[in-house]
Chains A and B, each alone.
Chain A
Amino acid sequence: MLFTSYTFIGFVFLLFALYYTVPARWQWRLLLAAGYVFYLASGWKNCVFILVTTVSTYVLARRIGAYHMQQESYLKEHKKEMSREQRKDYKAGIKRRQRRLLLAGLLLNFGILAVLKYTNFAIHNVNLLLSAAGSARQVPTADLLLPLGISFYTFITMGYLIDVYRAKYPAEQSLGKLALFVSFFPQLVQGPINRFDDMKETLFSPHKPDRQEIAFGLERMLWGYFKKLVIADRMLTGVTAIVGDPQTYGGIYVFVGMMFYALQLYADFTGGIDITIGIAQVLGIRVKENFLRPYFSKNIAEYWRRWHISLGSWFTEYIFYPVSVCQPMLNLSRFSRKHLGDYVGKRMPVYMASLAVWFTTGIWHGASWNFVVWGLLNGLIIILSQECEPLYARFHRRFHVDGTFGYRLFQVVRTVLLMSSLRMLDCYRDVPLTFRMFGDMLLHSRPSQLFDGRLMSLGLTAADYGVLTAGTVVLVGASLLGRKGSVREMLSRKPAAVRWAAVYGLFLCTLVLGAYGVGYDSSQFIYNQF
């Protein structure tokens, strides 16, 4: 059930009506049922996997939580009669048992994800090695199911399990409530990767209809549909044409495709998240923002703090910090400081953990080498710019450009170009081909080809280009306005006629200019496949 399908829109509006009709204490149960109806629509077999993850996480988290409570009450009771050493031993014993439970949960759930998502990637690589070694044998690929949103719900639940292990909050006692957190349908297909403590307050509590919140939620959904249907899906036609025929569309067209894809991905992903947050807002549920005008970032590190924020913070909290401050890494840091000097020693754990995170980020996005290379290149550029920091500081001191409009603009353009260049790996999905096309773009750009008529052969008409230009202006304008606060709140302070004109205008644009028609099956959101 795609977000953009008529079935989904009908499903959501029926849910809104039921949600505010049933007794308030039943609202979270209704959402749980809705989540499973939504999930069942993707195939009943998928449900087995999400159920295994939910139940195993529930049982293990409760057991880990019980150990926390046992430790607390035991130490409280026996504190006076225990020596410091005895207390330490007791805590270590509890920690060992908790760690075993945590490991069981991580192995089972990440194991399921790894087998379903990466088995064929592994087989493909084995086959490449066999061919390289001259063997005629090939391992057949496996016919595996990839349940909807498995990467997202696995990360959501494992974040919860680790948090309980770290005693950040107590384990949820109700299986139904945990199941709702895992299967909350608006976030199931493309995130955000929410945290239990951020959501539990509004997810399980009863809600009365709040006109203002419902209006804001609906407006947010409409804005998301506008971005997806009017901009992203229209742009997709151009991107597919360019990427699908590298022979015809080289040189300057590689650049055109690269910029088209930057805009398509932004409109597609942020549009999807707008729909998610909008649905949640209508239901009275707070979902954290996942984007903060990322293209206005001054460097790639900042961009990643503002793009897909929930994934970035998940990796930072559960991979980057644990890897960089684990004992072997600290030992390595000491060793490097002793033998290679302070400078290298200090950076060693941070850079190694960074590369581990970026490798995982890459492979999380897709089981293929183009994503691994994309992830590692992101990491390398961040490390490189970290290393160049003193150089930048000297440059800023000397030329006094930092903070000026011109330099700020240069930084934004640089971020957009760098990120778009890296994403070519995502477009062409083939590492050697991507580098070849990148080289072709730089060495044989031939800008005059833009006027040889091929621009009109990409499946986009002059009207489409007009819509895309106007849509981009609206998008950038809304982003610029958003720097001063919520655009919807600004709009709500305007006279009713202005607000209604803006909402109706957007609605009509989406209805008339959206890339669909009767029987049209809108394309899948890009992030659904991750």
Chain B
Amino acid sequence: MDEILAILQDLHPDVDFETCDTLIDDGILDSFDIVTIIAEISDAFDVKIGAEQIVPENFNSAEALWDLVRRLEDED
């Protein structure tokens, strides 16, 4: 989880990612951010996030992203 928070913080240092759960709904993360996050996560965790996983539920919070990573690790 700390690694996810670090990746997000690096993109938007002014956002409180520990509490925010509307990152997509409130337009905090745009498509540029999402692609960067996917590239960083694929490097950090060795998982592949496909285009079909790019839905608001998976990107609205750091927690949701962490759940996605764990799910993908389990599948692998």
Contact = CB atoms under 8 A, between A and B. Distances in A.
A449 B57 CA distance: 57
Given A320-B31, A321-B31, A386-B32, A330 B39 contact: yes
A521 interface: no
Contacts of B76: 88
A416 B76 CA distance: 49
Given A320-B31, A334-B43, A325 B38 contact: yes
User: Which of B34, B50, B52, B76 has the most chain A CB atoms closer than 10 A to its own CB?
Assistant: B52
A349 interface: yes
Contact of B35 (A88, A166, A318, A324): A324
A317 B50 CA distance: 11
Contacts of B38: 324-325, 330
A425 B51 CA distance: 33
A321 B35 contact: yes
Contact of B39 (A301, A333, A386): A333
Contacts of A166: 51-52
A346 interface: yes
Contact of A168 (B39, B43, B52): B52
Indicate the size class of the contact surface on chain A: 20 to 34
B72 to A, nearest CB: 12
Contacts of A324: 35, 38
Interface in B2-55: 30-32, 34-36, 38-39, 42-43, 48-52, 54
A167 B36 CA distance: 25
Nearest to A383: B32
Contacts of A346: 36, 39
Contact of A321 (B30, B39, B43, B54): B54
Given A88-B76, A330-B42, A334-B43, A317 B35 contact: no
A322 interface: yes
Interface in A86-110: 88
A353 interface: yes
A350 interface: yes
A309 to B, nearest CB: 14
A408 B71 CA distance: 44
A350 B35 contact: yes
A327 interface: yes
A325 B32 contact: no
A316 interface: yes
Nearest to A326: B51
B12 to A, nearest CB: 12
Contacts of B43: 334
Contact of A353 (B35, B42, B50, B54): B35
Interface string A487-523: 0000000000000000000000000000000000000
B14 to A, nearest CB: 10
Contacts of B49: 325
Contacts of B32: 350, 386
Interface in A302-326: 316-318, 320-322, 324-325
Interface in B49-75: 49-52, 54
B39 A322 contact: no
A324 B38 CA distance: 9
Interface string A349-377: 11001000000000000000000000000
User: Which of B30, B32, B49, B50 has the most chain A CB atoms closer than 10 A to its own CB?
Assistant: B32
A325 B38 CA distance: 7
B55 to A, nearest CB: 8
B51 to A, nearest CB: 4
B23 to A, nearest CB: 16
A84 to B, nearest CB: 8
A388 to B, nearest CB: 14
B51 A322 contact: yes
Contacts of B30: 301
Nearest to B50: A325
B51 A325 contact: yes
Contacts of B48: 327
Contacts of A327: 48
Nearest to B74: A84
Contacts of B54: 317, 321, 325
A501 B8 CA distance: 54
6 contacts: A317-B51, A321-B31, A321-B54, A330-B38, A334-B39, A349-B39
**4 residue pairs, one from A and one from B, having the closest CB atoms:** A166-B52, A322-B51, A321-B51, A324-B35
Given A325-B50, A346-B39, 12 more contacts: A168-B52, A320-B31, A321-B51, A325-B35, A325-B39, A325-B51, A325-B54, A330-B38, A330-B39, A346-B36, A349-B39, A350-B35
